[in-house]
Amino acid sequence: MAADEFSLIERCVLSLAPRPDPDVLLGPGDDAALLASCGSDWLCATTDALVEGIHIPPGTPPEAIGHRALAINLSDLAAMGARPRFALLALTMPQGDARYLDRLFHGLLQLAQRYGVSLVGGNLSRGPCNATITALGSAEAHGTLLRSGARAGDLLAVTGTLGDAHLGRLLLPHSSPQHNDPALRFLKRRYLYPEPRVQEGLALRHLAHAAIDLSDGLIQDCGHLCKASGLAAVICAERLPRSRAFESRADQEQWLRLPLAGGDDYELLLAIAPCHWPQAATALGGSTAPLTLIGRLEAGSGVHVDYQGKPFSLPSSGYNHFEGT
């Protein structure tokens, strides 16, 4: 099905119309959107691209592309302890396929609705498939979670479970025979439809010293937090939270490696003072992504992993877009 740019844009604008947001003075359809200011809060802004064939395999369902493009940005806001409010989408796709676009918007808007995010603007053009979202949120002045706020002695904790998404990605081609296998479905869903930890970030913004979201693998992202805070991390590999589905499908090597270096988890890694730990654990008591203690921060530098009581190192520590180019 082919359609011209303006009818495609109108289609999307109309699909957005039913949910009025009093903070959106002017939504899609003009040269730019007009939005209510954050008042005394800070504006929190992030942008991230999702490129088919690079970040997600060719042939991924368009619903998953729409969901994931927004989720990875909301995850960044969550890691700041910010409340998501608005999103803009710059979409390039090879053909003007209205059905594809409807499905992509369906995935995106379902997630947006769940977190009270209004899609306020966008741009559609021809080109290799690329969905770039900019997410805007509000952050309490003095209630934000920076990478640089951690202190020596802080505990390290993560939300949810690690390694699921990477294993789900590896298992993507295995669809037909085990289609009804719930573990396989769970793992694939963790890869295709990551859940941004927005509520968790908000609940912990006054309790944690620092946070980062895990997109490139625990060791690599923990390394960014350590570097920004000028500290060293010690992580206990046995303690990393693994889902039942992960435990049932991972081989021995994957069991150890994927939670440390798998990437695509989109869980939060937090630095929390020991005195705040009980309160933080309780704050996420009702969450589907509760906190697990995985290590501690101390003076020094680098990320050190203990496994079976001994120092442990992996050959590769995460995903780097330009590695080997």
The piece of 14-22, 56-64, 161-169, 205-213 that touches a copy of itself (CB under 8 A) is: 205-213
Q: Does 226 bind a copy of itself (CB under 8 A)?
A: no
What token pair was written down for 309?
């009581």
Residue placing its CB nearer to a copy of itself in the complex, 48 or 195: 48
What token pair was written down for 316?
């590769």
Backbone phi and psi for residue 6, each to the nearest 5 degrees, phi listed first = -70, -35
Contact 198, 254 (CB under 8 A): no
Q: Does 231 bind a copy of itself (CB under 8 A)?
A: no
What token pair was written down for 187?
């793992």
Q: Which of residues 16-35 bind a copy of itself (CB under 8 A)?
A: 25-26, 29-35
Parallel, antiparallel or unpaired: strands 83-93 and 24-26:
unpaired
The piece of 4-12, 158-166, 239-247, 256-264 that touches a copy of itself (CB under 8 A) is: 4-12
Residue placing its CB nearer to a copy of itself in the complex, 51 or 234: 51
Q: Which of residues 304-323 bind a copy of itself (CB under 8 A)?
A: 320-323
**In three state form, how does the secondary structure of 273-308 look?**
CHHHHHHHHHHCCCCCCCEEEEEEEECCCEEEEEEC
Question: Of 11, 15, 51, 206, which lies in the binding site for a copy of itself, with binding defined by CB under 8 A?
Answer: 51
Select from 85, 81, 228 the least CA-distant residue to 143.
81
CA-based end-to-end distance of the chain: 37
Residue placing its CB nearer to a copy of itself in the complex, 14 or 26: 26
Residue placing its CB nearer to a copy of itself in the complex, 62 or 256: 62
Q: Is 59 exposed, middle or buried (0-12, 13-18, 19+ CB in 10 A)?
A: exposed
Site string for a copy of itself, 267-306 (x = CB under 8 A): ----------------------------------------
Residue placing its CB nearer to a copy of itself in the complex, 139 or 245: 139
Count of residues binding a copy of itself (CB under 8 A)? Answer: 75
Q: Which of residues 58-77 bind a copy of itself (CB under 8 A)?
A: 76-77
CA–CA distance, 308 with 181 (Å, rounded to integer): 32
Site string for a copy of itself, 139-178 (x = CB under 8 A): x----x-xxx------------------------------
Locate tokens 């997109």: which residue?
Answer: 215
Locate tokens 């008591």: which residue?
Answer: 285
Closest distance to a copy of itself from the beta carbon of 200 (Å): 14
Closest distance to a copy of itself from the beta carbon of 247 (Å): 30
Contact 90, 154 (CB under 8 A): no
